[in-house]
Structure 1
């Protein structure tokens, strides 16, 4: 009788009875599929990536309309927070789901959650149900990004992987950049519900494209649905949800509502945060069968440094992205639409940064030089943003944020490839989820902490400038709605604009410190040639019969790109290997992602590399 600690992967002969191997007969691996199938898969996952990114920011311009319809202005901020909270909680789960369910099932589950959540948003009859729908949509949004990254990594060798993934990252950056302005335009023309519902046809197209074409062989699928469900890290997922949610409540009570430290709500939420964070660590290290935190990666220097960098970069990104438009609305008194457009240069530059990093890594086979060269740009841009004022030239107001987006695009792309270059191919799916976990926590932290800093400093600035019998009421109105500023009398308006300027400057200084710390953290990360074979398991000599498979999976061709035709692909492999293109031998033992023999790869179920938190009897 099998137990939860039994490995899900079994090595069986090609024609063994009642095995998953027999089902794979005649199917191709991710490096063997046709050019048309590869492009169809990429189109499907890129459409989903765009939709997930659009949903991250589209509510920023819909909040006034939504709060006006439901008369729940005090809850409207949870529309963004609920989405990010779901991403933070469920993103790392999808790395494990790709391992136990297979790529297609995991990706389509994410698309389905995203579509259902978005549909529910457009049909929600109340603010509470809308917040729940945003959370469901976030479950899919985080999974789409993780599974899309894993699928792209499957289909390309390491050197070409950065170029392929950089194109997908362009869709992510454009989605973040145009989500707000596009939603505002649709809302003005057709109402805020249409901004959600218009996404549904694209979700359907993505689901069909991946459902029909994403059928290549990826070993590691669970034996039964029950075994799959038992291996999900429910403890890690629940404790993450509770401690992050409690942290958001603590920051809101203490800094947004300005409750004293001895208030019961402040004390209780802080206590819950600490308790469940400690429980999360204990669950991940001691009890989880398939821990979302991947302790064996956390114990390695390079993955840990990359994780910290991902956190700090995402923290900085979302701090600026959410509050940069507010500066133009409250200090420059522009419309919400124009304020939202000021983020677009950064998103466009980020998309270019992703492409540049992918192209450069593909051409040079290196990542550290461009990371350190262009990774300092966000810090320089943050200085320009911090020193902006009402007298700054239009060119500076529009262009200062461009180096910020470009530099962060380069950093995120190169650090993802650096992570994959320093972990075994068999750990690629879990490693991707590991990296995305730090990014998603950074996103939530960037919004929550910057909001707390902003509200705290704004309250102090307003109280220093506005006095009198009605001061408390006026300050409350100014803090609760940025739209009030433009309608205030000249003297109060001047005080409000200067107060907002001081509070937002504090947020931008924090973002500047975050991106500078991220740069320092990345300095010890070594370079690694992307032409080298990816790291394998502890030094064991592979059997002679397995050498062909190792060469076939690792040395496919350093020149393969997403744009090669099937004939180009075959010619390059024939030139590199001195033999004709052939399918992989499925009779050989395989790793989780690819066709490496067990002797030359890392199995996540092995006790020796701590792929699980518990050891098997």
Structure 2
């Protein structure tokens, strides 16, 4: 994320971002799929219709009997011996790093690749394809891994990731986009199922600490993607950016195959006593189709709206309406048709599940808006270079790492999280409020510290909301609740940046029209300047000196509009977090 901001986004038109980074999709790292609480009374089992998540013993071909999990844990509350555990967890960290790196690795290469393939007009699809598949497929992996087992799904995702990278080694734009789509599909599974697997291995009370370490790995991958991609492209050629990821994916797959041996009773083992065809019959294909299609359409509309397609165009309207119809169809299928829903929507009736999901959704909207538009402010208003801009974003990476690890250590020591939730919310609101007060005379030292408070609060909330969400539901829903979390995060990041961009564009256009027409009396000349200023921040240096300050002031107003949007959404996130309940964080896998 940081490096991508440093390596090219602000050298292109800022009004319509070519890449919307979702480091879940793409920035804060693998987020937990933590162990669930033992209190099944929070959501009575009989309120769900035959949702058989987790390890299941089949009595016959048509009837599934749920198992009460009692995990063999001879390793001090952990699922594996220390050496084996560290090997598996390290491989999952590497998978997280690769997924994050691949999401941003093309940020510095878009122009190079598009020129080499003679596809400048379709440059955005090189990056957008990864974003769309990564966000759209994440929600389905929880249920699939409950049926087929974590190891099977992880190895399959590793295979998809490697095959996708291999397909990217091509001279065809179409195949490159297909390869990026497949890579995103596999990468999303590596992150989401990786978090579920770590929850199968690590007790909930210790899970936050491991989560903080995972966040660092994901953050490093996301931040270094553009830098690593640029170096490899300059020395070996851009195709080696994808080639060199293949052996790393193979190593991850081998480690998982050899060392991920979950103990008897673990929900990560999948369904027992069923062949592949019986397992396939349990997959909610109709619900999955509706959900994936809906997310694909809404994310496409959000990503391309205002840039490649006008908000008022028939295409945008059709995409939006179709996504809503499919989303409604998904809810209907899950509630009335599917025997084993991909996401049991009844879970959202639980106060803590709904509150933590909304908290994550609103926070992600606001924080991503600030992470995208603060660099735009630095570039357009303060006239910073790419390197100067990037340096000012580096401290935010450390604040995210500190927040994640700090929250994990706090919960490991105390077994509590609600007070930390309130504190993180106060820090986040004050941090974003400080961003709304930014002026062109902001001292240099404050420029480096500006994003730290909001990043610190957000990174704490990412870990807290997952722990709260998972601990509030029965053990059998640990994978399913992770899917819910990823859905809210992925859509929140994309919709947040898109909504902030729309506000930015409207305010900028209004301010430019008002200011430029006061200076330039010829309507044609004035409109020409306005159009060029709307097209790129670089035009500020080329515009007549008489209007340069007016253009900068207009950009400042546009950014402020995005910042106020961020403040509003983060505030809604904080208010949502207050409705979460405090649930017990257990010290063993059997929640004792």
SS of 2:56's equivalent in the other structure is coil
Cα deviation, residue 474, structure 1: 4.5
1:499 aligns with 2:554: yes
> Given that residues 436 and 560 in structure 2 are in contact (C-alpha distance below 8 angstroms), is that contact kept between their aligned partners in structure 1?
yes
Partner residue in 2 for 1:573: none
User: How many equivalent pairs are there?
Assistant: 521
Which is worse superposed, 339-348 or 416-425? 339-348
Partner residue in 2 for 1:15: none
Please list every run of 5 or more consecutive structure 1 residues that lacks an aligned counterpart in the other structure. Answer: 13-20, 534-551, 556-617
SS of 1:469's equivalent in the other structure is helix
Alpha-carbon displacement from aligned partner over 1:248-304 (angstroms, at most 9, x marks no partner): 45557763468474x433443333233222222212222234323322311211111
Highest RCO, 1 vs 2 (Cα 8 Å, sep ≥ 6): 2
Cα deviation, residue 42, structure 1: 0.5
2:400 to 317, 341, 350: 350
1:209 aligns with 2:255: yes
Partner residue in 1 for 2:458: 408
Alpha-carbon displacement from aligned partner over 1:176-225 (angstroms, at most 9, x marks no partner): 33333443454455554444444333322222221211122444336222
SS of 1:10's equivalent in the other structure is strand
Cα deviation, residue 95, structure 1: 0.7
TM-score, structure 2 length as denominator? 0.79
1:180 to 226, 247, 250: 226
Partner residue in 1 for 2:577: 522
2:411 to 348, 357, 361: 361
For 1:38-437, list aligned pairs within 5 A.
38-70=85-117, 72-121=119-168, 123-187=169-233, 190-217=236-263, 218=266, 219-221=269-271, 223-248=274-299, 250-251=301-302, 255-256=306-307, 259=310, 261=312, 263-437=313-487
Alpha-carbon displacement from aligned partner over 1:384-418 (angstroms, at most 9, x marks no partner): 22222332111111111011211111111111111
TM-score, structure 1 length as denominator? 0.76
Report the CA distance shift for 1:28/1:361 in structure 2 as closer, same or farther (over 3 A): closer
CA distance in 1, matches of 2:426, 2:585: 23
CA distance in 1, matches of 2:113, 2:531: 21
Q: What is the RMSD computed on CA atoms of the aligned residues?
A: 3.1
Cα deviation, residue 342, structure 1: 3.1
- State the structure with more CA Rg: 1
Report the CA distance shift for 1:115/1:344 in structure 2 as closer, same or farther (over 3 A): farther
> Given that residues 178 and 344 in structure 1 are in contact (C-alpha distance below 8 angstroms), is that contact kept between their aligned partners in structure 2?
no
Alpha-carbon displacement from aligned partner over 1:546-579 (angstroms, at most 9, x marks no partner): xxxxxx8333xxxxxxxxxxxxxxxxxxxxxxxx
> Given that residues 79 and 131 in structure 1 are in contact (C-alpha distance below 8 angstroms), is that contact kept between their aligned partners in structure 2?
yes
Please list every run of 5 or more consecutive structure 2 residues that lacks an aligned counterpart in the other structure. Answer: 1-49, 60-66, 518-522
1:34 to 78, 81, 84: 81
Report the CA distance shift for 1:196/1:404 in structure 2 as closer, same or farther (over 3 A): farther
CA distance in 2, matches of 1:424, 1:356: 27
1:509 aligns with 2:564: yes
> Given that residues 324 and 343 in structure 1 are in contact (C-alpha distance below 8 angstroms), is that contact kept between their aligned partners in structure 2?
no
Report the CA distance shift for 1:6/1:237 in structure 2 as closer, same or farther (over 3 A): closer
> Given that residues 93 and 233 in structure 1 are in contact (C-alpha distance below 8 angstroms), is that contact kept between their aligned partners in structure 2?
no
Alpha-carbon displacement from aligned partner over 1:356-409 (angstroms, at most 9, x marks no partner): 011110011111111211232222221222222332111111111011211111
> Given that residues 62 and 183 in structure 1 are in contact (C-alpha distance below 8 angstroms), is that contact kept between their aligned partners in structure 2?
yes
Cα deviation, residue 532, structure 1: 8.2
SS of 1:281's equivalent in the other structure is helix
> Given that residues 284 and 338 in structure 2 are in contact (C-alpha distance below 8 angstroms), is that contact kept between their aligned partners in structure 1?
yes
Which is worse superposed, 308-317 or 28-37? 28-37
CA distance in 2, matches of 1:379, 1:191: 44
> Given that residues 159 and 530 in structure 1 are in contact (C-alpha distance below 8 angstroms), is that contact kept between their aligned partners in structure 2?
yes
CA distance in 1, matches of 2:309, 2:558: 15
1:10 to 52, 57, 76: 57
CA distance in 2, matches of 1:204, 1:151: 18
Cα deviation, residue 140, structure 1: 1.8
> Given that residues 61 and 336 in structure 1 are in contact (C-alpha distance below 8 angstroms), is that contact kept between their aligned partners in structure 2?
no
Cα deviation, residue 308, structure 1: 1.0
Cα deviation, residue 344, structure 1: 2.5
SS of 2:258's equivalent in the other structure is helix
> Given that residues 256 and 455 in structure 1 are in contact (C-alpha distance below 8 angstroms), is that contact kept between their aligned partners in structure 2?
no
Report the CA distance shift for 1:356/1:85 in structure 2 as closer, same or farther (over 3 A): same
> Given that residues 88 and 444 in structure 1 are in contact (C-alpha distance below 8 angstroms), is that contact kept between their aligned partners in structure 2?
no
Alpha-carbon displacement from aligned partner over 1:483-516 (angstroms, at most 9, x marks no partner): 4444444345434333332222222221221111
CA distance in 2, matches of 1:495, 1:203: 51
Cα deviation, residue 475, structure 1: 4.1
CA distance in 2, matches of 1:380, 1:43: 36
